[in-house]
């Protein structure tokens, strides 16, 4: 056997070892990334953008911020009590800027609605929500019940068999400021929030931002 052949054969095990080590490192890196990625990429990026580590949130806080489920139903299951809607304000206004996720142009008339979700038994305010609603995109029956009653959105959707799709646009945290009095917290304490658009018949009918104190819902499920 020539010297060249011997050198080649000698190199093969070393190359194999190097390939195995590289492959092992790739596997370890991949597993590490999966462990760090604890939820859907876009949702985790949204939280990270606001300096929120998802792993430091309680399970229920993560659920509220990232699920496309109806919040009223989720709260009732967690709190074991009925949740009622407390209307704070509701008025027809013209928007002062374009709202791209809803494909609304500046000057479009919308309904600006602010509410609290409150436990009927505990009388505790659980969530503050502000909505931008496009009345011309709503069915007349739905619009009347939404504006003239205190029925939760989820109940109206259920009763009228309205199919909806929700797209989470953003989530994060911010100081409570003027909302602090609703929750008996200090103005500089943080509130977690999520913003999502609601679509029906392929049209964006409303955009909702829901907020709650960072100190709420810290117990496990």
What pLDDT digit, counting tens, does each position of 160-204 carry?
666 678 888 989 999 999 999 999 999 999 999 999 998 888 888
Residue closest to 127 by CA, chosen among 39, 202, 61: 61
Q: What is the pLDDT of residue 34?
A: 41
Q: What is the pLDDT of residue 162?
A: 64
CA 55 – CA 19 distance, rounded (Å): 34
Give the 3-state secondary structure of residue 169.
Answer: strand
- Specify the number of domains making up the chain: 2
32 and 50 assigned to the same domain: no
Average pLDDT, the chain: 80
Give the 3-state secondary structure of residue 201.
Answer: coil
Q: What is the pLDDT of residue 183?
A: 97
Instruction: Judge contact between 218 and 204, C-beta under 8 A.
Output: no
Q: Where are the beta strands (DSSP E) in the chain?
A: 83-94, 109-119, 125-133, 165-175, 190-200, 203-213
Task: Give 166's strand partners.
Answer: 198
* pLDDT tens track for 41-88: 766 777 777 778 888 888 899 888 887 777 888 899 899 999 999 999
- Asked if residue 86 belongs to a domain, the reply is yes
Q: What is the pLDDT of residue 10?
A: 55
25 and 132 assigned to the same domain: no
- Asked if residue 220 belongs to a domain, the reply is no
In which residue are the tokens 């953003």 written?
A: 170
17 and 47 assigned to the same domain: no
Domain range enclosing 114? 41-213
49 and 150 assigned to the same domain: yes
Q: What is the pLDDT of residue 96?
A: 94
CA 146 – CA 162 distance, rounded (Å): 13
Q: What is the pLDDT of residue 185?
A: 97
Residue closest to 185 by CA, chosen among 196, 174, 170: 174
24 and 52 assigned to the same domain: no
45 and 18 assigned to the same domain: no
- Asked if residue 6 belongs to a domain, the reply is yes
16 and 59 assigned to the same domain: no
């Amino acid at each position: 056997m020539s010297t060249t052949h011997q050198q080649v054969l000698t190199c093969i095990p070393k190359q194999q070892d190097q390939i195995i080590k590289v492959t092992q490192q790739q596997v370890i890196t991949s597993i590490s990334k999966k462990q760090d990625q604890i939820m859907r990429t876009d949702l985790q990026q949204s939280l990270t953008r606001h300096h929120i580590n998802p792993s430091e949130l309680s399970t229920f806080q993560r659920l509220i911020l990232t699920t496309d489920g109806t919040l009223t139903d989720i709260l009732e299951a967690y709190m074991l009590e009925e949740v009622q809607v407390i209307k704070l304000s509701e008025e027809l206004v013209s928007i002062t800027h374009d709202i791209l996720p809803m494909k609304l142009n500046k000057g479009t008339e919308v309904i600006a609605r602010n509410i609290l979700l409150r436990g009927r038994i505990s009388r505790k305010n659980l969530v503050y929500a502000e909505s931008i609603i496009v009345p011309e995109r709503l069915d007349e029956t739905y619009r009347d019940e939404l504006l003239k009653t205190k029925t939760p959105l989820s109940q109206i959707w259920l009763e009228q068999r309205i199919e909806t799709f929700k797209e989470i646009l953003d989530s994060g945290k911010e100081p409570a400021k003027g909302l602090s009095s609703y929750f008996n917290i200090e103005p500089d304490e943080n509130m977690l929030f999520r913003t999502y658009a609601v679509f029906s018949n392929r049209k964006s009918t409303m955009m909702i931002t829901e907020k709650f104190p960072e100190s709420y819902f810290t117990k496990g499920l």
